Amino acid sequence: MEKRVMIFCAAAGFLGVLSAALAFAAEATRIKVSDVETTTLGECRYPRSPALALGLIAAVALIIAQTIINIVAGCICCKKYPNPSDTNWTIGLISFIASCPALDAFDAWVLFAPFPSPSSPSISHRVAGNLSQFAKSSSADLIPTQSVSMDIPESQWTEDEFCAVGTETDRIPSYKSSASSGVKAGISSGSSVHELLECPVCTNSMFPPIHQCPNGHTLCSSCKQRVHNHCPTCRQELGNIRCLALEKVAESLELPCKYQHLGCSEIHPYYSKLKHEQLCRFRPYNCPYAGSECPVTGDIPMLVAHLKNDHKVDMHDGCTFNHRYVKPNPHEVENATWMLTVFSCYGHYFCLHFEAFLLGMAPVYMAFLRFLGEDSEARNFSYSLEVGGNGRKLIWQGVPRSIRDNHRKVRDSYDGLIIHRNMALFFSGGDRQELKLRVTGRIWKEQ
């Protein structure tokens, strides 16, 4: 009898040690937060793990061990035999104690194993989460993992929290909407983020809307038409799939103004940056030459050199001017633009325009002054224009317009000296068959 009890107790002890080892193995192989991968659509993918299976086997081994102890050695509290051996009781107690850590380890793993979740779950949620994870890892052997894509209209946006784009190098952490968390999303590595946002076609940074193919390859909206709606990486048809995760990342970035190289030091979030760049005082100016739609842009010194060297405009120093405009057969001219004249005055540049056009059905001439600079600076100056003849005189006084407003916009607003053709020919004198109009003026700085 003693030998048989010794054998059963040894088996119970072995099962207890085995259950403890399996429980610790389950703890070592459980899924950690860093093991969870995310797709471009924010879908979380969990790797397979034997942790729960090991824990369940450990629990079964522990139950078997305790059953053997109770059958063979009797209950520890109330012995089965009237005169049981002290050796049997001692071995049973030792086996019982050795098997307890297994159950404790398994309980600790089930109840306290951290599991990814949008909020802190209760204990019952953690248990359910770990059990469902085991089901997922078990079924992964039968069903291959696939990426799920969906067509999303361009006008649809979400404000819920989402997982950022996951990569093999874990370059981007998870983000929450600033509206829900109240905390601005941070970027761990700016260079890595900009690499992710780089369009594979034009190599520029991608901003909403960002398109992707069914395989997850992304490209910017401007390049979508250039590649004829086919992914440049895998040649799949692009469709209307949007990568909302990358769009959220792009929106959260603070970017320097694109005119930084011209002197602007401001930094803005993406959409604020676009609005700022439309009004940035460092943005290039368009060429003010009115004789053609010149595509040249640049800063003021560059444009002055361009007007002088390429358009051969008249350059003058001083704040007063006296110009004569001559046109033979003025009745045959409905639209005309005379050569631009540029003045250097008070350390700034001004350009004088003189044009002929139809005001309704009436042919008119118009002279006006534009300032080479910002509108806020132009308001510091005033100018006057004067035209006359035969004892008559017309005088115009106004504020020069910034070249941010093109010459046609200024002309169509009638912000200048307007002379009807009959009056201009009257000022010209003679037989009124030739336009000979003298325009004088001056520029001064307001105090």
Is the pLDDT at 286 greater than 70? The verdict is yes
Range of the structural domain that residue 229 is part of: 178-252
How far apart CA 150 and CA 139 sit, in angstroms, is 24
Report the range of poorest mean pLDDT among 63-72, 126-135, 392-401, 434-443: 126-135
Q: Are residues 336 and 292 in the same domain?
A: yes
Q: Are residues 184 and 135 in the same domain?
A: no
How far apart CA 193 and CA 204 sit, in angstroms, is 13
- pLDDT average, residue stretch 415-422: 93
Exposure string for 210-219, b = 16+ CB within 10 A, e = fewer: bbbbbebbbb
Within 13 Å, how many C-alpha atoms sit on residue 331's CB side? 4
What's the confidence (pLDDT) of residue 42?
A: 57
Tokens 């990358």: give the residue.
Answer: 246
Distance from the Cα of residue 152 to its chain's centroid = 18
Percent of the chain with pLDDT over 70: 70
Cis bond before residue 209 (omega within 30° of 0): yes
Is the pLDDT at 371 greater than 70? The verdict is yes
What's the confidence (pLDDT) of residue 383?
A: 97
Helices (H), 261-318: 270-279, 300-309
Q: Are residues 86 and 190 in the same domain?
A: no
Strand locations in 257-347 (E) = 267-269, 285-286, 297-298, 314-317, 320-328, 336-337, 341-345
Q: Are residues 240 and 106 in the same domain?
A: no
What's the confidence (pLDDT) of residue 73?
A: 59
Report the range of poorest mean pLDDT among 140-144, 334-338, 371-375, 407-411: 140-144
Output 379 or 14, whichever has higher pLDDT.
379
Is the pLDDT at 388 greater than 80? The verdict is yes
**Domain stops at, among 92, 114, 139:** 139
Domain contains 420: yes
**Domain stops at, among 207, 227, 252:** 252
Is the pLDDT at 144 greater than 50? The verdict is no
Quick check: helix, strand or coil at residue 206?
A: coil
What's the confidence (pLDDT) of residue 49?
A: 80
CA terminus-to-terminus distance, the chain: 119
Q: Are residues 135 and 192 in the same domain?
A: no
- pLDDT average, residue stretch 161-173: 36
CB 162 within 8 A of CB 248: yes
CB 127 within 8 A of CB 112: no
Strand locations in 78-234 (E) = 210-212, 218-220
Mean pLDDT computed over every residue of the chain? 74
Q: Are residues 40 and 185 in the same domain?
A: no
- pLDDT average, residue stretch 146-151: 38
The pTM score is: 0.50
Domain contains 263: no
Give the pLDDT band of residue 337 (cuts 50, 70, 90).
confident
**Domain stops at, among 230, 252, 274:** 252
Give the pLDDT band of residue 402 (cuts 50, 70, 90).
very high
How far apart CA 259 and CA 249 sit, in angstroms, is 23
What's the confidence (pLDDT) of residue 284?
A: 92
Domain contains 240: yes
What's the confidence (pLDDT) of residue 87?
A: 52
Token pair, residue 349, equals: 């540049």
Is the pLDDT at 441 greater than 70? The verdict is yes
What's the confidence (pLDDT) of residue 129?
A: 42
Spatial CA neighbour of 329 closest among 404, 261, 203, 428: 428
**C-alpha Rg value of the chain to the nearest Å:** 42
Give the range with max mean pLDDT: 33-37, 226-230, 351-355: 351-355
- pLDDT average, residue stretch 279-304: 89
Spatial CA neighbour of 18 closest among 105, 97, 73, 99: 99
Distance from the Cα of residue 226 to its chain's centroid = 21
CATH number of 191's domain = 3.30.40.10
Output 342 or 388, whichever has higher pLDDT.
342
Domain contains 257: no
Is the pLDDT at 6 greater than 60? The verdict is yes
What's the confidence (pLDDT) of residue 48?
A: 80
Within 13 Å, how many C-alpha atoms sit on residue 429's CB side? 9
What's the confidence (pLDDT) of residue 345?
A: 95
What's the confidence (pLDDT) of residue 51?
A: 80
What's the confidence (pLDDT) of residue 380?
A: 95
Domain contains 40: yes
Give the pLDDT band of residue 389 (cuts 50, 70, 90).
confident
> At 360, which amino acid appears?
G
How many structural domains does the chain have?
Answer: 3
Output 407 or 444, whichever has higher pLDDT.
444
As beta bridge partners, residue 435 has: 327
Give the single-character DSSP code of 316: E
Task: Convert the pLDDT of each residue in 72-98 to its tens digit.
Answer: 655 555 554 555 555 555 655 665 565
What's the confidence (pLDDT) of residue 181?
A: 35
Is the pLDDT at 166 greater than 50? The verdict is no
Q: Are residues 97 and 215 in the same domain?
A: no
Q: Are residues 229 and 347 in the same domain?
A: no
As beta bridge partners, residue 341 has: 314, 352
How far apart CA 245 and CA 252 sit, in angstroms, is 11
